[in-house]
Amino acid sequence: MPNFDYEAPTSLESALEMLARPGEVRPLVGGTDVIDQLKSNRRNADIVIDLKRIPELLNIEANGSGLRIGSAVSCTDVHNFTAENGGYPALSESADLVGSIHIQNRASVGGNVCNAAPSADTIPALLIHEAIAHTVSASGAREIPLIDFFAGPGQTVLQKGEILKELVLPAPSANTASAYLRFIPRNEMDIAVAGVGSLIEVDPSSGVVTKARIALASVAPTPVRAYAAEEFLEGTVIDAAAIDETADLAVGSAVPITDVRGSAEYRKELIRVLTKRTLNICLERLA
């Protein structure tokens, strides 16, 4: 393990002062990604700043306008909170898929986002629920639509000294359902070969989709929205033929690589299957 200083501030103000120090300053929450990255020299650090003791970052709350998730809230707490409060089923099920119970107890959804793995399970769910990343640094605050937060595999648009403070999701309207599914070759503790999050809002009297959001994991250098599929589905009566067409269009937004987990063609086929399945789950949830 390389040498670095370790700080565990108890206020956001002191964290921001530490984050602005010279050198490689690296935030840590659960450490489930960053500790291994430091050990294997894939990331370096002069100072590691543990954000877990900062009250504002541990807050999770929902009201009529939406859901706020502090960046240090664990996957377990996000899963439990959203399971109880409803409205964000895709997020609830994605937080429940990360690693194992032990990993979920340590790992934060904010860390999943900031680690920026194309395969990260919570990101498609956050994207379809139109999350906004609220960031903070010594020089001010920013609000970044989550789709603009990723700059490449493992890369975000965060500047030096800037951290994710919270994720803010608008309240879903009535007649909305969402779902997230991924494919891994075993039951747990594996990285998604491909993942799909879908959200639809359907007019109950006509069956017409009034809003569609589809996001894909593990099929591009960053998580992506399937815009062509969304545009096709909006304004369409949702039935088996429309779901087939939507799934074909979603495949067009995937630009996967071939690696040890699967070939590019296999990943495209997974996107087709998972898009259909998530849309059918949404319909079941709306029934």
Ligand X SMILES: Cc1cc2nc3c(=O)[nH]c(=O)nc-3n(C[C@H](O)[C@H](O)[C@H](O)COP(=O)(O)OP(=O)(O)OC[C@H]3O[C@@H](n4cnc5c(N)ncnc54)[C@H](O)[C@@H]3O)c2cc1C
Binding site for ligand X (CB under 6 A): 26-34, 51, 71, 97-99, 103, 106-108, 110-112, 114-115, 120-121, 158, 163-164, 189
Cβ-proximal residues to 252 (8 Å cutoff; 6+ apart), any chain: 226, 228, 229
Could you tell me the smallest distance in angstroms from the CB atom of residue 158 to ligand X? 6
Cβ proximity to ligand X: between 118 and 172 the closer is: 118
Q: Which ranges in the chain belong to alpha helices (H)? A: 12-19, 34-39, 75-85, 89-95, 101-106, 109-115, 122-128, 227-233, 240-252, 264-286
Could you tell me the smallest distance in angstroms from the CB atom of residue 153 to ligand X? 12
Could you tell me the smallest distance in angstroms from the CB atom of residue 199 to ligand X? 19
Cβ proximity to ligand X: between 31 and 221 the closer is: 31
Could you tell me the smallest distance in angstroms from the CB atom of residue 247 to ligand X? 23
Cβ proximity to ligand X: between 164 and 229 the closer is: 164
- Asked whether the beta carbons of 196 and 214 are under 8 A apart, the reply is yes
Cβ proximity to ligand X: between 26 and 211 the closer is: 26
Q: Which residue is nearest to ligand X (CB)?
A: 111
Could you tell me the smallest distance in angstroms from the CB atom of residue 131 to ligand X? 14
Cα radius of gyration (the chain)? 19
C-alpha to C-alpha distance for 4 and 256, rounded to whole angstroms: 36
Cβ proximity to ligand X: between 135 and 246 the closer is: 135
Cβ proximity to ligand X: between 78 and 229 the closer is: 78
Could you tell me the smallest distance in angstroms from the CB atom of residue 78 to ligand X? 10
Nearest CA-CA partner of 123 in 182, 49, 210, 41: 182
DSSP labels, 104-143: HHH-BHHHHHHHT-TT-SHHHHHHHTT-EEEEEETTEEEE
Classified as helix, coil or strand, 167 is: strand
